[in-house]
Amino acid sequence: MKAIPYLNDLVRFKSPSQESNIQVSDYVQNLLNQLDFQTERIEYQDKNDVTKVNIIGKKGTGRGGLAYFGHTDVVPALNWFTSDFGPYDPTQIDDRIYGRGSCDMKGSVACMIAAVEKFQTEELKAPLYITCTADEEVGFIGASEVAEKSELYKEMVENEAFGLIGEPTMLQIVHAHKGIFGFNAVSKGKAAHSSSGEGLNANLAMIPFLVDMKQIHDETLSDEKWLNHDFDPPHINWNIGINDFNQARNITSPQSVCTVYFRPMPGQIPEILYERVVNSAEKHGLSVTLEVKGGPFFTDPESEYVQAMIELAGCEKSITVAYGTDGSIFTKLKNKVVCGPGSILQAHKNDEWISLDQLQKGTDFYSKLIRYFCQ
């Protein structure tokens, strides 16, 4: 199976989002060059001054075509399920290949590369684009760099290429997913021995702010304007976290932090909720920082593109999913869906794997799409 050696190579590159993905990106770029792709490389420094790389490739000429999007970063591999082999040592057991990123989503990238092998450039009547981003797992940062700076991405948009985000869907066609919206609220105090009366406990200002956050949380579970029954679950998952980082009970906390992460859905305006957050923070003397923002993904399920993809995939209908993808950022592409091998239920787990069956089916399906949209 052609995808297996590519997947094994990709998994061996340790590329959690906290570290650089230079080496795996070099590998992808070299592969694409060998396969007669014109490539574009976009580097940037993340907030910790770690170098990250996006690779964009184009094979063939003309208008339209197929634009595939994957990512090369993975989540950290903590508490790996076995000591027999590590998370970056791809290992086949029966009909599964285990390894961090095997499912999310180096397996998908491997399938697309294996599919491309079957096509000579002169056979293509429309272009094939392959984009591999960084930092998808921490807020679609690499995708934002591509959308802002890539000349090939601008070309995809102008030429109305058909977008394919290859996240794991068990090869079902996804026409919509939730977005992401996350912020931090910080209360400042003064540390002192609690018996002295000299300190200022930062939690005192945080408590009324948390009451307001709880009120919003409850509203999003019951108010129809924050529900969308096309999704499961149908609410935005207003997730509240708190931490004062205090190391002892007899110290007044100098800082208290509230984090909120939620998932807006198509047709909703999350800025309405965020404005309430900002107003509450100002009222109680807190500072707020918006950390991550990506809109929901939606393509009309009745559109010609979605209907064509349903027929090509042999599905009864397209579906929605609760997780997010780089598709939140690539909004200028008129036609796009999410579809890739593997199950999202295996993503991010301490025994992440993808089945050989899905790798074969993924390669076959991507080959079918290249023939349909590029030949």
HEC string of 137-206 equals HHCCHHHHHHHHHCHHHHHHHHCCCEEEECCCCCCCCEEEECCEEEEEEEEECECCECCCCCCECCHHHH
Query: Mind listing the pLDDT tens digit for each residue in 120-135?
Result: 999 999 999 999 999 9
Q: What does each C-alpha distance from 2 to 34, 66, 112, 169, 249 come to in angstroms?
A: 16, 21, 10, 21, 59
Pick the CATH number of 180-294 from 3.40.190.10, 3.30.70.360, 1.10.3710.10, 3.30.1360.120: 3.30.70.360
- 332: DSSP letter: T
Q: Is the pLDDT of residue 238 over 90?
A: yes
Reported confidence tier of residue 274, pLDDT bands at 50, 70, 90: very high
Pairing of strands 335-338, 180-188: unpaired
pLDDT of residue 58: 98
Query: Mind listing the pLDDT tens digit for each residue in 362-375?
Result: 999 999 999 999 99
Q: Residue 73: which of 9, 153, 132, 31 has the closest Cα?
A: 132
pTM of this structure: 0.93
Q: What does each C-alpha distance from 365 to 127, 304, 314, 372 come to in angstroms?
A: 18, 19, 10, 10
Query: Mind listing the pLDDT tens digit for each residue in 302-327?
Result: 999 999 999 999 999 999 999 999 99
373 vs 375: CA distance, rounded Å: 6
Pick the CATH number of 3-177+296-374 from 3.30.1300.10, 3.40.630.10, 3.10.180.10, 2.40.30.20: 3.40.630.10
Structure tokens, 109: 């990238």
Domain definitions of the chain by residue range: 3-177+296-374, 180-294
Which 3 state secondary structure label does DSSP give 247?
coil
Which 3 state secondary structure label does DSSP give 357?
helix
Average pLDDT over residues 234-241: 97
Q: Is the pLDDT of residue 254 over 90?
A: yes
Q: Is the pLDDT of residue 1 over 90?
A: no
Token pair 């199950």 is found at 343
Average pLDDT over residues 197-220: 97
Percentage with pLDDT > 70 across the chain: 100
Element (H, E) at 374: helix 356-374
Average pLDDT over residues 74-84: 97
pLDDT of residue 258: 98
* Amino acid in position 350: N
Mean pLDDT of the chain: 97
At residue 28, φ and ψ (nearest 5 deg) are -65, -45
pLDDT of residue 368: 98
pLDDT of residue 356: 98
**Rounded to 5°, angle at Cα 168 from 167 and 171:** 110
Helices 22-34, 3-12: axis angle to 10 degrees equals 150
Query: Mind listing the pLDDT tens digit for each residue in 203-212?
Result: 999 999 999 9
pLDDT of residue 91: 98
Query: Mind listing the pLDDT tens digit for each residue in 148-170?
Result: 999 999 999 999 999 999 999 99
Helices 106-116, 3-12: axis angle to 10 degrees equals 140
Q: Is the pLDDT of residue 117 over 90?
A: yes
Average pLDDT over residues 250-262: 97
* Amino acid in position 142: G
Q: Residue 370: which of 170, 127, 39 has the closest Cα?
A: 127
